[in-house]
Amino acid sequence: MALTIGVDIGGTKIAAGVVDEDGRIVEHLLRPTPARDPERVAESIGEVVKELAKDREIEAVGLGAAGFVDETRALVRFAPNLAWREEPLQRKVSHLVGLPVVVENDANAMAWGEARFGAGRGESHLVCVTVGTGIGGGIVFDGALYRGRWGMGAELGHMQLVPEGRLCGCGNLGCWEQYASGNALVIEAREIAEADPGRAATLLEIAGGKPELIEGSAVTEAARRGDSAALAAFSAMADWLAQGLCDLAAILDPGCFILGGGVSTAADLWIDQVRDGFTANLTGRGHRPAADIRLAELGASAGLVGAADLARIR
């Protein structure tokens, strides 16, 4: 069976694996990312690929990169959390490992992994929303990954939903990910705790007494213990998530949405509200099928598996 290697390159770690045609991971490796040095990143990728390819016949390599990847799937134009600027990653890694290489945006790779082997199996039109620190997105349109004209499509987290809203890392105001991500959850919880400490008693106790010390894990724990501020922060996030999904459905009319990322590990605290908000506000509701809202199934390996599969499509 033809094997490919998928590599998921994040801001802190490189996850790589040998993947078969059915999306099964045959072998898996994890390394820290030397984030500040593009040459070292390419070398580290080369090392893990060579280690995995030893004594195996490998067809190609797919790299999922946390950045803006060009339409030829060769160049990382810009990466907010890594030192890449106009980085010719395909050429560098291909030269190091002697195999065909494709580069894909990491959220696109995740979406493809879920579409082929995870929660989106059998669905030709879907949108994958990765709710982590920010919001990543991937669109599968008519059975193929939709990249846009220049490879920059599906940056869903940067839809500007709130006029004059919170400043985003991208430089614009009011982006979706400033309201419906893990970061947004923390911002919201801190704001409530600052304004009304009595309401956030449990949350503040867990976080060490100060609003600025509140982190995502504390919000989750406090919400599970019934803290009113923590529950309100989750509720606000869920409403914004639902709103964004309604907008995406108005444009794309997908068969399903797949929600993944770090915040989805606490999905029991918000998924019902997202589903309810979506069906209550969807344009044309009652006269159209509503997209199914599902949780991702492949977890942290979705990007690696998707990148490996995309390496077959050259």
Short-list 98, 109, 102, CA closest to 53: 98
Short-list 216, 246, 220, CA closest to 231: 220
Short-list 127, 14, 13, CA closest to 5: 14
Which range in 37-45, 72-80, 81-89, 173-181 contacts Zn ion by CB under 5 A? Answer: 173-181
Indicate the residue among 175 and 305 with the shorter CB distance to Zn ion.
Answer: 175
**99 with 53: CB under 8 angstroms?**
yes
- Spatial separation of the C-alpha atoms in residues 178 and 160, rounded to whole Å: 9
Q: Give, as ranges, the residues between 88 and 127 that touch Zn ion (CB under 5 A).
A: none
Q: Give, as ranges, the residues between 133 and 172 that touch Zn ion (CB under 5 A).
A: 158, 168, 170, 172
Indicate the residue among 102 and 139 with the shorter CB distance to Zn ion.
Answer: 139
What minimum distance in Å lies between the beta carbon of 232 and Zn ion?
24
Structure tokens at 274: 């997202």
Q: Give, as ranges, the residues between 16 and 55 that touch Zn ion (CB under 5 A).
A: none
What minimum distance in Å lies between the beta carbon of 155 and Zn ion?
8
Residues across the chain: 314
Which range in 86-94, 117-125, 174-182, 219-227 contacts Zn ion by CB under 5 A? Answer: 174-182
User: Which residue is listed with tokens 């600025």?
Assistant: 212
What minimum distance in Å lies between the beta carbon of 194 and Zn ion?
24
Q: Which of 175, 229, 241, 263 binds Zn ion (CB under 5 A)?
A: 175
What minimum distance in Å lies between the beta carbon of 263 and Zn ion?
17
Contacting residues for 284 by C-beta, under 8 A, at least 6 apart: none
**Whole-number CA gyration radius for the chain:** 20
Indicate the residue among 17 and 151 with the shorter CB distance to Zn ion.
Answer: 151
What minimum distance in Å lies between the beta carbon of 177 and Zn ion?
6
Indicate the residue among 100 and 165 with the shorter CB distance to Zn ion.
Answer: 165
Q: Total residues contacting Zn ion (rule CB under 5 A)?
A: 5
Indicate the residue among 123 and 177 with the shorter CB distance to Zn ion.
Answer: 177
10 Å Cβ neighbour count for 261? 22
Contacting residues for 73 by C-beta, under 8 A, at least 6 apart: 90, 102, 103, 104, 151
What minimum distance in Å lies between the beta carbon of 256 and Zn ion?
25
What minimum distance in Å lies between the beta carbon of 159 and Zn ion?
9
- The sign of the dihedral angle between the CA atoms of 71, 76, 78, 79 is positive
Q: Is 233 in the site for Zn ion (CB under 5 A)?
A: no
Indicate the residue among 119 and 175 with the shorter CB distance to Zn ion.
Answer: 175
10 Å Cβ neighbour count for 221? 17
The residues of the shown chain that bind Zn ion, judged by CB under 5 A, are 158, 168, 170, 172, 175
